[in-house]
Structure 1
């Protein structure tokens, strides 16, 4: 079948799932309120990026007698793609379950490299710690969640206290981190080996300096005082993610930490985040327990 003929079949295949998705999004939007495109970097800042230095806040519509816990979600995308708008379903699902969710953008390669991405994420977390009470969130219960490259960035923010210290938070405000199939936990080891076809592409976001690779890898910053970590990986994910996640957990154990690692059988890398479309997904169930809302 030619490309043009295959194209004719796409609408029939996609329209129904799209309509169902829109209907479901509308239904789940009702219990939540979305505040879009909040700038977490001042527009007067010389480096302000009008698209990437923004975040969305999702709050439960139901009024609570006490502030809600807060989860900041950092998206993945190989450090060169991704957008907060695609992950609105995560914000909606979390808000529906009694969480104030913050879904962020950050600058991407090739415009910037990972140290600048990490700084963007730190500025978003600092903004959240300072302002989330205005949205009904509890800054004393601030957690991070990230998938893929976003998981590596989330782990780094919790482990390397310098990132938040630069933005006015000498005491790291992060109370815990849930990592969903995280990438980049040990890019120092990964880029030294370059075992897989196409690995050279990561020299664009990470550069060619091994000292930088090490500095942006959470593996080399965790201590006994690092906030608790909860990890999920797919049973069919990339070997590099599986291997580095297990190595990361082992490192935390050696420091006296008690991280939890759950392998979800049969799951590949992308479905590890796409499954979060469903409110009662096991990751949400465990996240609610992790942040003190579940049984």
Structure 2
């Protein structure tokens, strides 16, 4: 027993070192490798003609003779990963799907076109198109019609998810009828500086209002959970604080969590089961989903 505990601690420490950037191996590869895939069925489909226009659907395995059958009634979650609009792959975030499936939710993780192939708003439209595809094929993919969905994202993916939740034009243009039941946005840049060298080429000839969720809050916003690390130097915490203030002023239901000593990558990595001791992001997401679902 002591040996097993020691091995568990050692593996956790090794994963932590990788998350901290102490290895050339991708930390997401390690997380995906150590987590079992026995609790869900994964389906990969294309929602468009571009090779990047594909998505993974993680559906919980439902045991007919157990209470897990109730999971089929939980609202599906669309997770949009980050990568500064320049990199990322849905396969890297199976650990996020694993965490959310463990809470009983079907999870949809779309790939989308990246810069320089795509500029704003093409990557936002891609996620909207993926949602339209799932809605149209919901009976075969999910086993039931898609009436509600929860949007979730990290970093630039949180920016995309927030735009989809605040500005109806994207989903309307793809004829998406599904109601947005909630938004979980993690470490996102909701008030983009359009003159920033990293942002400027992606958001050409775009106004602040078009590019920033903080300026597009609609009167019927769904409940929102904003998570951010206090030590995030990639996307500064003021983005979540400013977004939360704007949401509160508009009368929306918003919960803001700022985690001490947490940076940009650790906040998303800690959703994986071996790393949940790093902060309370997983338990806070669980509490939010329980409250709104």
Moved over 6 A (4+): 17-20
Q: Secondary structure at the match of 2:290?
A: coil
Residue 70 of structure 1 and its aligned partner are, at CA, apart by 0.5
d(CA) in 2 for partners of 1:93, 1:240: 24
- Aligned 8 A contact 1:165 1:172 in 2: no
TM-score normalised per structure 2: 0.80
- Aligned 8 A contact 1:186 1:214 in 2: no
Residue 88 of structure 1 and its aligned partner are, at CA, apart by 1.0
- Is 1:30 the counterpart of 2:38? The answer is yes
- Aligned 8 A contact 1:252 1:258 in 2: yes
Structure 1 portions without partners, runs of 5+: 1-9, 42-47, 193-198
d(CA) in 1 for partners of 2:107, 2:253: 26
d(CA) in 1 for partners of 2:159, 2:28: 31
Residue 265 of structure 1 and its aligned partner are, at CA, apart by 1.0
Q: Secondary structure at the match of 2:116?
A: coil
Residue 229 of structure 1 and its aligned partner are, at CA, apart by 1.1
- Aligned 8 A contact 1:67 1:133 in 2: no
Equivalent residue for 1:283, pick from 281, 284, 288: 281
d(CA) in 2 for partners of 1:205, 1:261: 28
TM-score normalised per structure 1: 0.80
Distance 1:18 1:81, change over 3 A: closer
- Aligned 8 A contact 1:80 1:205 in 2: no
Distance 1:157 1:294, change over 3 A: closer
Structure 2 portions without partners, runs of 5+: 1-17, 64-68
Residue 112 of structure 1 and its aligned partner are, at CA, apart by 0.9
Residue 90 of structure 1 corresponds to 96
Residue 139 of structure 1 corresponds to 146
Mapping of residues 88-167 of structure 1, within 5 Å: 88-134=94-140, 135-136=142-143, 139-167=146-174
- Aligned 8 A contact 1:93 1:279 in 2: no
Equivalent residue for 1:68, pick from 53, 74, 83: 74
Count of residue pairs brought into register by the alignment? 262
Distance 1:136 1:254, change over 3 A: same
d(CA) in 1 for partners of 2:187, 2:144: 27
- Aligned 8 A contact 1:186 1:217 in 2: yes
Q: Secondary structure at the match of 1:103?
A: strand
